[in-house]
Amino acid sequence: MAEADGTPYRNRGWWFPGALLPDWTNPSAGDWWLAKRRYLLTDVGIDGFKTDGGEHAWGDELRYADGTRGDVSNNLFAQRYADAYTALLDDCDVNGVTFSRAGFTGAGSSPCHWAGDEDSTWKAFRASITAGLTAGASGVAFWGSDLAGFSGEIPSVELYVRSSAMATFCPIMQYHSEFSGDLAPHRDRTPWNVAERHDDTRALTLYRRFAVLRARLQPYLIEQADVSIATGVPMMRALCFGFPHDPTVWEHPLQYQFGDHLLVAPVCHENDDSVDVCLPAGRWVDAWTGEQCDGGRVVRRPVPWHEIAVFIDAAHAARLLPVFADLPDGLVG
């Protein structure tokens, strides 16, 4: 792509400043660019690409090879970027994915996506849930965030544990952090670093508990991913998707369905030890206690650190309750 005067466009942002960007509207440029990455699939054997930084085409005055200006094509850059790598995967017969933080209309056709670089704060944690539900409503079925944040000082152990619990019930569960170089103490968001920095082993042991639960959920994740692909309904979705005529669901914007049969209500505020759960009409079963509950009401659910409020559609409780049973308690190191 070029500036208005015809000179090559160079990244104006702080990240890789001055770098050249490929013009995906120029087939020759795209082919040249992707040819240099093909060996990663054919020789190295990777399964996908992190198509990061797709939002760096700035300026209405930019010119693209297809004759469009920046005010028309800049937003499309991120999607064309992911689409190009998806096409490369297909061309190499690799059943892989792209992983993007930017997108536009059609983003769901090139999965997966994540929320970007959040701070490690409770406010950002809540915002990430909103982002996931919004992404789902926009057609992005496979989404995640950097649990407990990416930027700044490391999260508290409480935030790390609550965010890990919520991420267990996301389409994508991951931790990640900005690079702190040789600076000490390190700001890695690994559970062992958070535990060491805070001298609190619960960051590690409770993360392990939720990681085990996540592994047990794999058959359900695969099943519900197939449902999303077949129907276009996101795995992680606001309650209004399933219960559009229940006005109470709008009062619980951080609560959501995870697939067709689980209802999740994360603890999203510091020092909270319980949460109000909106149970829509029907029969629900507490995933941890097995208690059956009538829907059409709001219940107050105590939530110790080693749990997250999850209710199962009663018709599927028999097969899903064992997933939650006999987990490592994670309460001691």
Rounded distance between C-alpha atoms, residue 142 and residue 132, angstroms:
9
Q: Are 58 and 74 in contact (CB under 8 A)?
A: yes
DSSP 120: S
Half-sphere exposure of 285 (CA within 13 A, CB side): 17
Query: In degrees rounded to 5, what are phi and psi of residue 295?
Result: -85, -170
Rounded distance between C-alpha atoms, residue 265 and residue 78, angstroms:
32
DSSP 2: B
Indicate if 117 belongs to the active site. Answer: yes
Separation of CA 26 from chain center? 31
27: exposed, middle or buried (Cβ count in 10 Å: 0-12, 13-18, 19+): exposed
Q: Amino acid letter at 245?
A: H
Indicate if 119 belongs to the active site. Answer: no
Q: Catalytic residue, from 3, 52, 196, 246: name it.
A: 52
Per the document, the length of the chain is 333
- Dig out the tokens for 64 from the structure: 């693209």
Query: In degrees rounded to 5, what are phi and psi of residue 264?
Result: -125, 135
SS3 at position 312: strand
Nearest by Cα to 125 from 271, 267, 284: 267
Q: Catalytic residue, from 117, 196, 246, 260: name it.
A: 117
Indicate if 251 belongs to the active site. Answer: no
Q: Are 146 and 166 in contact (CB under 8 A)?
A: no
* Pairing outcome for strands 48-49 and 97-98: parallel
Q: Catalytic residue, from 23, 31, 43, 55: name it.
A: 55
In angstroms, what CA-CA distances link 73 with 60, 67, 303?
A: 9, 10, 47
Active site residues: 52, 55, 117
